[in-house]
Amino acid sequence: MPAPVGPAASPEAPAAGRCGYVLATLVALATVLGSLALSMLLGLKACPLCFYQRTFAMAALGALLLGGLVPGAGARPTALATALLCAAGGLGVALFHVFLEARGTLECPAGLLGLGSAPTQSLGALLLLCAVLVPPTLRAPARRAGVVALALGALFAVASVASAPPLPPAPDAPYDGAPVVCRPPYAP
C-alpha cells in the first residue's frame, strides 16, 4: 500500500492546524475584548449595528472555544466553519456600518486609542478574523462547509441590517460633545 501523500502525510500538518486554530481563537478573543473595552472602559454605548457586530464576534469566539474543548476529529473543522459563519455575518454588518459612516448618515465615536472610529476598528478586527478563518475552513475536506458558512454569514448580515431599528431623526440643534453612541449628524 502506498504511503499517503499531501497534507495528511506531513508531520507538520497537525501542528500547523493547531496553530491556525489557536490564532483564530486569539483573534476572536481580542475582537470581543476590544468591543467590550469600548463600552466598559471608554463608556461608549453600542448602537444596534454595534450590538450585532459584537454578538457575531462573541458567537465566533464561543464556537472556537467549544471546538477546542470537544474531543474528536470533527470538532475543530465544525467549529472553524461555525466561527467563519459568525465572523462573516459580523463583517457584513460592519461593512454596512462603515458605509453609513462614510456616507455621512452616521457619526460614530472614536475607537480604542483614537485609532479610527469604533465601527472602523470592528471592521478591521472582523476582517482579520475572517482572513484567519478562511484558509483552514476552505481546505478539503471541510471546503463545502466553509462555502456554506460564508453564504449563511452573508445572509445573516443582510437579515441583521434589514431588521435593525431605524435611525433617530437628525437633531435640530448641535450635539454637546463628542459622540458616545453612533448617531445621525447635526446638519444645519
List of residues 6+ apart from 5 with CB closer than 8 A: none
On the question of pLDDT at 88 being above 50, the answer is yes
The model's pTM is 0.87
Instruction: Average the pLDDT over 79-102 and give the result.
Output: 96
Find, among 108, 94, 75, the residue nearest to 156 by Cα: 94
Domains of the chain: 18-162 (1.20.1550.10)
Strand, helix or coil at 160? helix
Which segment of 40-49, 101-110, 119-128, 132-141 scores lowest on mean pLDDT?
132-141
CA distance 82 to 67: 10
State residue 56's pLDDT score: 97
Q: Which of 61-70, 87-96, 109-118 has the highest mean pLDDT?
A: 87-96
Pull the grid cell for residue 33: 475584548
State residue 110's pLDDT score: 94
State residue 7's pLDDT score: 42
State residue 75's pLDDT score: 73
CA distance 85 to 8: 26
Report the amino acid identity of residue 66: L
The pLDDT tens digits of the residues spanning 12-62 come to: 445 556 788 899 999 999 999 999 999 999 999 999 999 999 999 999 999
